[in-house]
Structures are given as structure tokens and as C-alpha cells.
Structure 1
């Protein structure tokens, strides 16, 4: 072809910034998407199950597995003494055994592995073991852990200014406490690993995990071999939400230990009850706070003590607590603060990553405090929030976080103002008040809450990624990167980035399974960094190939390599339009390299964990939501009538996927704050360990009027195509639901009393808060 491409066509063509279906959407709908349990089993495959502790804290005096070994179909059983390498699966501190040895520290802790000819036979056999215990005292709650000074890590503290002096000068003071529960990840696909022995001490582990490289390290250590002996592969997960970041290690290690012993493939698939009993969840938090403020509601001094239920081992509790400390400010400038966080050691599951990773738990405390202040002053909480927002520039002196990072991308004022207008917040506030005056039983509540969420791992070295891009002679492209696909669309976005870089339609690009033998030393797909890091790495690889092809095109057709354009499945060079496939074939014949690796490391990050100061985040994502609820004050039942959401995704890579992520995060966060109650009995057993006893939101819980939009913005940082992360931050948006419920409860006493509402705001918790409000109001009268 010898006609030049038109500028209009180039301007209209783009593979990023446009809605695209999820790359596996059709496979999902047709039931053809292959998850780990769907992979055809090799001949000779065995199945494993775990024998679990029945005590929360006890010495193991004896284990009798005779009945287990005699059970139908059983091939072998293994205890900690059979592990030839390291009996540890802790991601940071080595305090988390694969199998308990001599001591159990929670009900559900694995003690032994049973291997049988079928999944059911293995599970039945695991129940036949006889374990003799010597029981020890158990600590079950964060409050009890604090009282006993029981911590998995030393407590941390962040200070700025002089809190005590500012507090003493403040004309008004609010103090209180708050409990916010944990949350089960409730991924649809449970924990599963399939370990396949290979020659020369090799092991292929097919694993549902967010962190293949960590699984590689844990398995290698458990088997006592080098990392290069172990390959971990994950094509997709049926959900992760943080529950498969470190917690998948136990399952990968147990399956691999059995497979290595028996020299046969072994699959370990967790039943839902076992999964929920064994694995950690979102950390629940207990807060004590004291805040000084002026007559307008401006915060002058803030102090909060947070204790989180870490569980029996450290897992990721340290980084979770750090992020909670760094998100206590949310969208507000706090001049004089003391923020403390302690990781309480309890005889419960070792809690772990969950979407938001401590950020939601940190931010909800300041929102609760602002809600208190507004009610104490008889003001709308939105006005108090706006008064305390971060400033926009150095002249105001209100744009530096308590940990010392300057905020240069603040859009919360404009974003919240846009949402206030589009949701008709003021008009609806008046309508809600009017409704409540005439309705003695049913009460409405309304709230607008903002969010500011830092994006990056708060451990600096984890902010790196690699990718491989191959261009085949027929012009098709294959990309492999270190991120894992759990339904969030990372593969779709990376494919779009590569397609855009090479000027191709996305149909020309395919993403393959995450594989430690292809891209090594990867970070977990977590902290909302998946597309940011892996998209940049894949872009780097594709750019190198494009530059080689451009140079070859100039050799063939003349011109300047710097102005060669790639778009619309063609290469535009010196007045010629050459099909991409044609140029690739010519480049192959000329021995031009048609594959490349790419790498990316997020710049400008630094953090001092001792002083809790630095620049831990690449940028901030912003958002706000308005929720309107209806509460039945006689039963505690409630309904979300309408939700208006505005989220800052920067220049979205894929608006369709991003809107879906915001919607999903909103409903998941709403579940955490309202219905998803974790309950342990006095014996330390988690009783909410199945769908029959644990209430996640259903379709009927979604509001009929659900208005979700993306804010028109672009990232000030050089992120991938100036987009912003969208995985975790939107989980803070349903704060508006919780505070709308609190607003409705408050109306029972004419907003004269701050309702002592804890999360989750179950019907029982709502009724308790209503009774407390009525009692306090009657006492004041």
C-alpha cells in the first residue's frame, strides 16, 4: 500500500481508554474458563485433606493416625515431622508453621495431611484422627490482647506536631471508642493447589494464588530445594480479594509435600467450611479516640489508638497496620496528631490481606469522629468534612500528610462538589428531615463521604514488575506478565496496553498464564498496583519491539524512525502504509528480534518504618459517595434506597471494567460494614464458617437506584496512560451507607445524641444503638 494514513484515523484509533469486554468474559458465561480444579487430572492423581485443630490454644501431647491410615482409599498421612525442609509459610516473619508441631494456636489450624484416592475419602479420613491436647489460656479479642499486652509485633506510632498542647487549647472535645469487624474474602473459587512432580526434584504447582513467586519460595523451602526446581502457574482465580496473597502458601506447600513424598500428583482443594476455618480474614479493629476541635468544627488535635486482631501469627499484619496509620487522615488535614496501632496476638486465624489492606479500617475512624463533631455542633456532616479537607497548595500549608508526603494531586474539593450537585444532596437532606418528622417508625438517613487512598506497596521494593512480549511471524502477539488474573481484568488491560503500543486491535493480542518460569521474582497482585506495574512493564517490552520494527521500516521505505506511526493494524512510514503482519514477516527474514522483556519500578518512593515518615505512595485516588437508607426502628432492618458514586480513575484504561470494579467494591464494602459478621464462640471456634451462617450481600441488597460515574481527571504522575488504580480505593465508598444508617438512628432523638453504632451494623447492632440513643435522650431530658 502506498497511500498515507489520515490524521483523523490516527486520532480516532485507540486500544486504551475505551470500554472493552473482559478477555475471558465469553469463557466465563459459557462455563469454559479453566480454573485450577478444572485442569484435567493426570493419571495417578491423589487427593489431600487437612486434619485441623479442635482447640484454640493447646499443647499437642499425642497424635494417633491409625484410624486415618486404615480408612478407605487412604494412601498416606504426614505430620510436621515429615517435612524435610522448612516448616513455615509466613510471608514476612517465620512464625507460621505449615503444620502445627507441638502447639496449636487456633481452632482450625492444620496438624496433618491425609492423602487418599479421592477428595471425599481424604476428608472423611481426616476426621478419624485422635489428638490429645493439654489446653492453655486463649486470647480471642483485640481488647483482650491489649489488656494482656499480647502482640505479634511491637506497637507502632506516628506523631506530628504537639497533640497534647493542641488538645488542651481546643474549645471542644470529643472522645469515644469504636469496634469494626473483620470480613471473610469469600472468593467463589476456594483455596486449591495441584502439585505435579517433575524430573530431577522438580515440581509444577498449579495454584489459585495472587503471589506465584511467594508460593515458589515457600514450596522450595518446604521441600529443601532451590527455587529453580519449582514452577508455579496460575491462569486465573475465581476471586482473590487478598485472601490468596499469602494464605495460598499453606495449600501449595501441603500439596507439594505430599506429591514429593509419594512421587505422584496431589491435589488439595479446600471445602468451604475448612477454607473459612483455616484462613485469615480482614483484620477487625478496636479504636479509642480523643479529638479537639473549634466552634466551626475544624479539627485541632486528633489522637487514636487502634488495636487489630492479628491472629496467632504476624502474616501481613505489620503492613496492614502501617497502611491503617497512613490512612487515618483520609481526606483531611490533621495538624497535630498521635496515631498508634498495635497488632494484637489472638488465638484465632492469622488475619491477612483484604481489599483495602488496612486503608478502610484506618479511614473509617476519622469519618466516625467527624460524624460525632457534626452532630455535637448541630451541623451537616458534609460541611464539617469540607472544612477539614486537605488544601491545594503550599501557600495554604494544608497539603502535607502526617507521614510527610506532600499531596500534589488533590481533587477532593471539586469531586465532592460535583457529586453534591449531581446527587441533589441538599434537596434530599431537606426531604429526609421532613420524612423523619412525620414518620415515627421508619427513619431515613443520608450521608456523603469522601475518600483519598494512596497507591503503591508500602514496602518499597515490591513496587516492581516484569513482562515478556512475543510477536509471531503471522503478526499475532503473546504477552506474559507477573500479575495474576482474579476477575479484575488485569489481563484485559495489559492486552490493551500492548495492542495500543503496537497499533493493533486487541484481538491480535493474547495473555498467557502467570508463570514463575517466564517472569521471575514478581510481586503479589495486590495493593491496587496490578495494572500500574504490569501495564508499564508490558508497555516497555512492546515499545522495544516497536522501535526495532520502526527502524527496519525506515530501512525498507526511508524516512525517520522517530515519526513512524503504528495504528489501525498497520505501520505508517514515509508515505507508505504497510500492514503490521507484512512488516513483521520482513523483519523476521532480516533477523530482527521480535520479542522483548520489559521492566518497571515505580519511581520516587521511600519510607522509613522507624520514623513512619516518607513518600510511600506514588499518587492518590479520590472518590465520594452519597447513600440514602431507610431503617425500621422496630426490627433493625434497613434498605439502601439510592447510591450516587463518583470515582477518580484518572484517564481510565477501560471504563467498562473500572465501573464494574467500583460497583463491586461498593457492594463488598457495604457487606463488611453491615451484614458480614464474624463470630467466635467461647471455645474459640469460628461459628460463621459457611454460607449458611455468614451473610454476604445478595442481588436484593443492591440499591434499585445505583448511579456510578468516573470523575473526569488524569493522573499527574506518569502512570500507565495517566490512569489510576481502581481495585481497592472504592471499598471506602460505602462508608456513606454506614453513616447514613447512623444518621437515621440519630434522627430517633432529633440528632441530639451520637449513636454508639459499631460495624457491622447488623439488625441487632442497629437496635442496640437505637435503644442507647433513646435512653441517652431520655436521661438528658
Structure 2
């Protein structure tokens, strides 16, 4: 080991700066601080294990590819375009048809229904027809007896494409006014005048890359023909109802002919909100043509090439501010790289607009959003759904302002926080009524020793010529609800069987986030039975129809409350029955600890259920919930699109090697608001996982398309997600102590997406270190901050 390598190891192996003097700070990896209720308390609030954890560890949890295949099942593989943009002149599949095991090949002409997918914009063909618009676009399918036979045959298909000029850069697309949807502008006040009158002005550009979902279970669907032209589709999807609609649309059937089922996914992160529908449609079309069950499972390389990513963004901005760093005027242009079709780009770009403020009041502001069409995969939902692309911009701007003024970045952030009276209304006209930003950030500032560590890091950087450290605190204020108001509804079914056991079914889907577990806890408490008496069954369109996607961090908010209402209906039936037996009011009957208690006597829950059944009392019910208070004008992008906000803050310390660009995260302290946690263990896991996934987006996960439009980073060998080795030596998560001020299920708050954006603190800390290394107050760093990009920021 040379001297420089030894310095880097010493600098990055011991936790935060000054840790040797901070004996009270726990430096154990993954330190957590949950509220830990005792086992005697109700199920909600307890750190109960994930309902599938034992089965997953044992390898007995069933995913789509584990379902026993019906006799005669065939396997499909896609025929992919190798050209980014071109005219489709012809396809020669004779060689593929002659290969062993091949049972058929299908193209657009084999679609009995609409050849265009049933998306909102209706702009994406099921199979490419007259032209191709990205490398990896699916032209057709080969169907064979085995997976490998199908894949080998698909590669043998000869496709004749006449290349056309391809647009691969978002700024080029903007210059050519190549858009999948019209531009959108949100404006408040007079930003031009505010900028002109500002004491200080800055302007700049920013480039932020996309992100591959990299779910452990790839995209997969299994379509089984049933009697009388009905279909059962097993799909790894976050939105079974949409898959049902898409499949029926492509087959030319009504929705009632298609049932879609999803027991669980091996990860989704938004990648299976719309784009799981493609797999299901393709598998169903192949099954329709060949009258056999068909499974389609993409391999990892094809998954990378076929499916969309987090939207890459480019930005232009102008900011005016005073001597304290408080913004007085802001103009922003956002260029969203949407790929070749709209998919969910409209609402993703809208949410980026909504979250450009993050935690800060924007007075005179204009945000222009351009939804740019390029010849790449159609980008789609990803954890945060445009929120991260909005939040990172304002954090970058405030960081630039702090360096320009020579102020501590945290002080500039605090100067811009939402406050009271004239500083508590967002740029989209929603009042911030539940603001806890200042006390939350102040508490984290103290517990993380932010001020002391900044001084320690300054002393370190003054003495260290090669290894530089950086530190940053960034907050999050994230709106919870679907911005499309009509999606904020949910249904559920609760069945109580005659032995007293309980079954719940709801419209949400389980992708590892613990949704089923939390809902089982809610139902158990509503009926007063032990958690172990409740089971959650597979999500199925034939049980709860028209369900919204499990997205927008609203899975528990919506489905948990619907399940609670369903269980309450059954409980009320039982209470009325017991009240009739004991001559009391139904309100005097309570349910807890597996018992039903009236003023007269106490009975076991099982006993009451058996008696109620014998007296023909209904033991099952449905529940329905729609989020209150929200409204939103999608033309002006104003209103109250969110029911409430979730808050948090993270303090991150990093080190960079100025000779190689290598960087490491040394320490992370998080204080996050989940309201009254329904399950602290699951919530902490979501915070940790979301944060680490955010680190991946901002440090290692770089998507690279070559000049021919081929995604060159399409395998684990070239695309680097975080591993256990990337965990910071000090990683502490604490939960904010206050419940949700809105009437949400159990007083809880959503936790799926907000923590992801706390990782922006790592990127801001890296920019802090870059500025220290450069010595000129500049930090021209793009995201992700790979070693190469850090070097460019230092020496470019």
C-alpha cells in the first residue's frame, strides 16, 4: 500500500470527522432508534416481521416464475430493434421458425384488438409497425417449448430497418421542439422584476442522470387461457387493474373476461407500475394466437434494453437572492428526457414541478417544464416519481448560493424554509399546514454535531492535500397522494371464518415494502384479534376491482383505511349481535386480546363468531376509502394535490480522493417523520433502503447510451448498484416523535418514497468536498458523482 492509499484508508475507515473525540456517538453500522412497543400492545405500532419473511428466507415464497406451469405451457422471447430510429422495411423469421422447439412467431398483424397500448396518451404501439424508435423496441415475439429455445430463435430473426436520424440528447430534443407532451408552465408573482431587483444573481445549468430499477425479480407475466374466451394472467405488477385493461384492450375483449393476479413482486420501485403491462399483453397475445398458456420472462440484458428508467433531467436556472441567501426570484427550465413515448412522463414532470420548492418558500417564481421526446426507452415511474428531480435542483441552487456568499449551506437552507403567514403557501397554491421543518432540522443539527464537525472537516481539509471531506444537511418535504385525484381511492374485503380466523384482500400489491403486513396489523386491531389470526391473500382484479396502482407512497394510506373500514363493518355486526344477547348498547361492546367484552360478560372472539354464524350474522364485508380534502386543477397545476406532507432530514459526510475521483460515504444521520409508525421495523427498513437506493442514483448508477442509441450499461458488469460494502460505517436512523396531524390510518405517514431524496445530502456533501478541493468556491458536479465525474468537476 502506497502512502496515498494508506491516507485514503485512514481517512475513510473511521466514521465521521472527529469521531475519536465523540465517545457518546454510536458508530455501529445500521444503528436504529425505533419506538419499541411491548408485545402486550395492539399489533399496530409493533415491530412485527414482514408477513412473507420466513417464506422468503426459506425459498418457499412464490413469485410468478415459481408458479407451477400448466401442461402445454410455452415460452416467449422478444424480437428487438437494433436501430434507434428507422423505417421497418421487413422481417424474415423463416430461420427462427425452423429452429428446434419453435411453435410460432407473431407481429403486429396478429393482434386481434387495438395495436396501440391502452395508455392515457395512446401513443405506444404494442409491437413496432412501420418504424422503430429505440434500440430494444419490441417488434414481435418468438414462442417455443423452452425459454432458451425462444431466446435463441428470437436472435435468429432478420429485421430490415432503414436508419433515420435519431435524437439522443435532451437538449437537442428541446432545440428541435421534439416533445411527447406539450410544455407546462407554473408561475407566481413577477420573477423577471424580482431577478432584476435582486441584490445578488446567479445562473447555471445542471445535468442529472436516470436510474435503472434493477428489481431482483425481472419483468415477467404468465397468461393462461380459460374457458369461454376468459383469461387468467399472473403478472409481476404494481397495477393489476391496468394490466387487466391493457390485456382486454389488446385482445378485443371486455375487462370482465380478464383476471389478473399478483401475490408479490421481487421489487418494483415504479418499474412495474405501467411497464409490467407490456409483458402481460405480449404473453396474452402469444397465448391467444397459439391457444396455449404462455410465459414471458425477460432476461436482465433485455430488461435493460426494453424497459424505461428514471427520467434523466437537464436544467437551466436563474436565481436572485439577498445577503442571507434568501431567494427573492427564481426562473427554472426543466428538460425531462421522456424517451420515445409519453408513458407516465406527464405526471412525473408535473411532480418535479411540485417538488422544486422542496422545503423552501418560492415567492416570485416561474418553472417551465419540457417533456422531451428522444429515441431511447420510454422512461417511466421510479421511486419519488419526479420528486427527486425537482428536489435536487433547488438543493443544488441553494448550495451554489451559499458558496457564492461564503455562508454555511445549512444557514442558507434555514433562511429559505417555509414559515408562517406570508411564507407558508407553495407555488402551486397549497398551504403548508403541518410544517415541522425547523424543529426537525434543528434537532438533527444538534444530534449530528453538525457545527462541530464542519469545523473539524475544515481543519482536516487544510492539512490533507489529497483526501478532502465534505458535510451537508438537506431536508425533505414530500407531498403524499396521487396528483391525479381520481387514483386516491381504494377498496378491500375482510372475511371472518367460523373458526375465528381472518382473511383480508385489498387492491394494493406487495413488492417487499411490507404493505400486506401493515394492513394485517390494522385489521387485527380493528377486530381485537392477535396478528397471527390474520392472513392477506393475493391481489386479484376479480376480488377488488378498479384498484389504483400501488405507488405514490399511498399503499397503506389508501388500502389500510379501506381494510380498516371493512373490518369495522364486521366488528359492528358482531357488536350488535352481542349487544342483543346482553341487553346493552353496541357501543358498550369492545374487542381486544382475542375477546369480546360487554358490560355483562366476556366471551372469546371465536365463540362469538360461531354463535353469530349460527344466527345468520354477516361475517364478511367490503370497505371503501377516498382521500379527503384534496383537489387539483391539472390545467393550471394549482390546488391541494396532497393530503399531507412527510418530512425528514439527513446529515451526510463524505470523502473524495482528488487524484482518482473515488469517493465514499463516511457517516449518515437521519431524522425522519413517519407519523405514528404502524411498524417501526418496516419503516426503518424503508428509510434505510430508500436512502441507499438514492445514494446509488447519485454516485454509481450511470446510464450510458452510445452514439447509436444503444444502452451500453445493460448488465451488472457495467451498471453498478450499491452493495453492502457501500454502507457508511456510521448509519443512524431515528424517527420523529409526532403523529400525523391529518386523520390518516393509525396516525401514520407514508414512508416509501420520501427517504429516497434524503440521499441528496450525500451529493451536496460531495459538492462541498469538491469545492474544498478546488479552492475557488465552485462545485461543477453532475449526477451521478462517479469517480470519472468527480475528477471532471475537480480538473475539468
TM norm. shorter chain > 0.5 = yes
CA distance in 2, matches of 1:131, 1:519: 43
Q: Give yes or no for the alignment of 1:650 onto 2:675.
A: yes
Which position in structure 1 is the counterpart of 2:19?
Answer: none
3-state DSSP class of the match of 1:733?
helix
Q: Give yes or no for the alignment of 1:580 onto 2:608.
A: no
Which position in structure 2 is the counterpart of 1:778?
Answer: none
CA distance in 1, matches of 2:120, 2:699: 32
- The one of 156, 159, 181 equivalent to 1:128 is 156
Which position in structure 1 is the counterpart of 2:300?
Answer: 272
Which position in structure 2 is the counterpart of 1:115?
Answer: 143
Q: Give yes or no for the alignment of 1:34 onto 2:62.
A: yes
3-state DSSP class of the match of 1:734?
helix
Q: Give yes or no for the alignment of 1:762 onto 2:786.
A: yes
> What 5-or-longer segments of structure 2 have no aligned partner?
1-36
Q: Give yes or no for the alignment of 1:560 onto 2:592.
A: no
* Deviation of 1:11 (Å): 12
**Equivalent pair of 1:10/1:567 in contact (CA under 8 Å):** no
**Equivalent pair of 2:39/2:46 in contact (CA under 8 Å):** no
Q: Give yes or no for the alignment of 1:256 onto 2:280.
A: no
* Deviation of 1:437 (Å): 0.5
CA distance in 2, matches of 1:638, 1:200: 61
CA distance in 2, matches of 1:681, 1:32: 41
Which position in structure 2 is the counterpart of 1:462?
Answer: 487
Q: Deviations over 1:421-476 (max 9, x none)?
A: 11111111111111000000000100000000000000000000000000000000
> What 5-or-longer segments of structure 1 have no aligned partner?
1-8, 773-781
CA distance in 2, matches of 1:322, 1:90: 21
Cα distance change of structure 1 residues 10 and 139 upon mapping to structure 2, 3 Å threshold: closer
- The one of 313, 318, 334 equivalent to 1:285 is 313
**Equivalent pair of 2:38/2:46 in contact (CA under 8 Å):** no
3-state DSSP class of the match of 2:649?
strand
3-state DSSP class of the match of 1:149?
coil
Which position in structure 2 is the counterpart of 1:747?
Answer: 772
Q: Give yes or no for the alignment of 1:421 onto 2:446.
A: yes
3-state DSSP class of the match of 1:400?
coil
- The one of 378, 398, 407 equivalent to 1:350 is 378
Cα distance change of structure 1 residues 636 and 497 upon mapping to structure 2, 3 Å threshold: same
**Equivalent pair of 1:88/1:218 in contact (CA under 8 Å):** no
CA distance in 2, matches of 1:739, 1:425: 14
* Deviation of 1:12 (Å): 5.2
Q: Give yes or no for the alignment of 1:171 onto 2:199.
A: yes
CA distance in 2, matches of 1:184, 1:21: 29
Which position in structure 2 is the counterpart of 1:104?
Answer: 132
* Deviation of 1:90 (Å): 5.0
CA distance in 2, matches of 1:640, 1:761: 12
3-state DSSP class of the match of 2:338?
strand
Q: Give yes or no for the alignment of 1:638 onto 2:663.
A: yes
Deviates more, 1:76-85 or 1:608-617: 608-617
Q: Deviations over 1:264-283 (max 9, x none)?
A: 11000000000110000000
Which position in structure 2 is the counterpart of 1:367?
Answer: 395
- The one of 222, 229, 232 equivalent to 2:257 is 229
Q: Give yes or no for the alignment of 1:82 onto 2:110.
A: yes
3-state DSSP class of the match of 1:311?
coil
Q: Give yes or no for the alignment of 1:540 onto 2:568.
A: no
CA distance in 1, matches of 2:641, 2:108: 39
- The one of 428, 453, 465 equivalent to 2:478 is 453
Which position in structure 2 is the counterpart of 1:3?
Answer: none
Q: How does 1:44-59 map to 2 (within 5 A)?
A: 44-59=72-87
3-state DSSP class of the match of 1:264?
coil
**Equivalent pair of 2:659/2:791 in contact (CA under 8 Å):** yes
Q: Give yes or no for the alignment of 1:306 onto 2:334.
A: yes
CA distance in 1, matches of 2:120, 2:448: 45
Which position in structure 2 is the counterpart of 1:162?
Answer: 190
Q: Deviations over 1:709-744 (max 9, x none)?
A: 111111111111110000001110011100111111
* Deviation of 1:130 (Å): 1.0
CA distance in 1, matches of 2:96, 2:637: 51
* Deviation of 1:29 (Å): 0.6
CA distance in 2, matches of 1:181, 1:274: 21
CA distance in 2, matches of 1:137, 1:460: 39
State TM-score, norm by structure 2. 0.95
**Equivalent pair of 1:13/1:568 in contact (CA under 8 Å):** no
3-state DSSP class of the match of 2:675?
coil
**Equivalent pair of 1:375/1:754 in contact (CA under 8 Å):** yes
CA distance in 2, matches of 1:416, 1:175: 28
Q: Deviations over 1:391-422 (max 9, x none)?
A: 1x33xx11000000001000011111111111
**Equivalent pair of 2:118/2:245 in contact (CA under 8 Å):** no
3-state DSSP class of the match of 2:150?
helix
Q: Deviations over 1:622-677 (max 9, x none)?
A: 00000011111000001111100111000111110000000000000000011000
* Deviation of 1:87 (Å): 1.7
Which position in structure 2 is the counterpart of 1:407?
Answer: 432
- The one of 546, 565, 570 equivalent to 1:521 is 546
Which position in structure 1 is the counterpart of 2:352?
Answer: 324
**Equivalent pair of 2:528/2:592 in contact (CA under 8 Å):** yes
* Deviation of 1:296 (Å): 1.1
**Equivalent pair of 1:558/1:574 in contact (CA under 8 Å):** no
Q: How does 1:66-81 map to 2 (within 5 A)?
A: 66-81=94-109
* Deviation of 1:88 (Å): 2.4
Which position in structure 1 is the counterpart of 2:730?
Answer: 705
Coordinate RMSD, CA, aligned: 1.1
- The one of 618, 621, 630 equivalent to 2:643 is 618
CA distance in 1, matches of 2:366, 2:609: 60
**Equivalent pair of 1:146/1:344 in contact (CA under 8 Å):** yes
CA distance in 2, matches of 1:563, 1:704: 54
* Deviation of 1:10 (Å): 13
Q: Deviations over 1:374-393 (max 9, x none)?
A: 001111100000010001x3
3-state DSSP class of the match of 2:743?
coil
3-state DSSP class of the match of 1:373?
helix
Which position in structure 2 is the counterpart of 1:597?
Answer: 622
CA distance in 2, matches of 1:261, 1:629: 56
* Deviation of 1:575 (Å): 3.9
State TM-score, norm by structure 1. 0.96
Runs of 4+ in 1 over 4 A off after TM superposition: 9-12
CA distance in 2, matches of 1:652, 1:149: 47
* Deviation of 1:604 (Å): 1.3
Q: How does 1:645-724 map to 2 (within 5 A)?
A: 645-724=670-749
Deviates more, 1:318-327 or 1:93-102: 93-102
Q: Deviations over 1:518-565 (max 9, x none)?
A: 000000000000000000100010000000100101111232211211
CA distance in 2, matches of 1:652, 1:136: 54
Which position in structure 2 is the counterpart of 1:4?
Answer: none
